[in-house]
Amino acid sequence: MLKRLLNFLFPQQCIHCHKVIEQKFLCDECFKTIKFTDDHLYPTSSQCYARLVDELGIKVGMSMCFFNKETAIQSLMHCLKYGKKPKIGTWIGRMYGEKLLYYHFEKSFDVMIPIPLHKDRFKTRGYNQSYMFAKGMSDILHIPVEENAVIRTRNTMSQTTKPRAERFENVKGAFAIVDPNKIKDKNVLLIDDTITTGATLISCGKEILKCQPKNLSVVTICVAVD
């Protein structure tokens, strides 16, 4: 009753086209425009894998969907990062968790490590979007999320407007390991929101590799394509 009244007074809107909807976040039409990858079928032929394997020697690399500007996925990612809507992260994390469970990935990883935010950015944002996504996946796959094994020591500038070479320079040495025992001899799954050049994942991944995990894999929500 209260829920219906609240819906009447404050109707939920699609975050992309602003149509009034019953469900969360996106209307059916906008949801259908999201282009999901087949990375779960070919986790060593993906864009994510190709961008990271030389530097990190990852076991598998998967992105849930392709990132396209001016589309519903951009609105979704924008709201997840800047719109104080952490539940978008758990929602899509569960969705991807279901897919990975169906393809038996639940035994492939021992621990999930979301790319950490610097504590100042965490304070302004209120949550880590990559943690929320990992948490959603964890609800389905029952793989623990380790939030405090790695920290971000420098509050790096946003990467989005930087050219490729600067992106790598910008995040160099930006991460530090706090608890190597959470990593050593584990099948580690590193989680990020979007992979573009891979600079952030490579910088963080290199620190993780110093702690001798059994192996390292990567999952991202989006993969940016030119």
- Least distance CB 72 / Zn ion (angstroms): 7
Indicate the residue among 12 and 44 with the shorter CB distance to Zn ion: 12
- Least distance CB 224 / Zn ion (angstroms): 22
Give the burial class of 113: count Cβ atoms within 10 A of its Cβ; 0-12 exposed, 13-18 middle, 19 or more buried: buried
In this structure, what DSSP letter does residue 36 have? B
Tokens of 158: 């946003």
From 6-14, 97-105, 122-130, 132-140, span contacting Zn ion (CB under 5 A) = 6-14
- Find out whether 27 and 19 touch, Cβ atoms under 8 Å: yes
In angstroms, how far is the first alpha carbon of the chain from the final one?
A: 48
- Least distance CB 17 / Zn ion (angstroms): 3
In one letter, which amino acid is 138? S
- Least distance CB 73 / Zn ion (angstroms): 12
- Find out whether 113 and 188 touch, Cβ atoms under 8 Å: yes
- Least distance CB 30 / Zn ion (angstroms): 3
Nearest to 174 by CA among 113, 112, 117: 117
- What residues between 16 and 75 interact with Zn ion by CB under 5 A? 16-17, 27, 30
Indicate the residue among 30 and 149 with the shorter CB distance to Zn ion: 30
Q: According to the binding rule CB under 5 A, does residue 14 interact with Zn ion?
A: yes
Indicate the residue among 76 and 140 with the shorter CB distance to Zn ion: 76
Q: How many residues bind Zn ion (CB under 5 A)?
A: 5
d(CA 14, CA 28): 9
Q: According to the binding rule CB under 5 A, does residue 177 interact with Zn ion?
A: no
Rule CB under 5 A: which residues touch Zn ion?
A: 14, 16-17, 27, 30
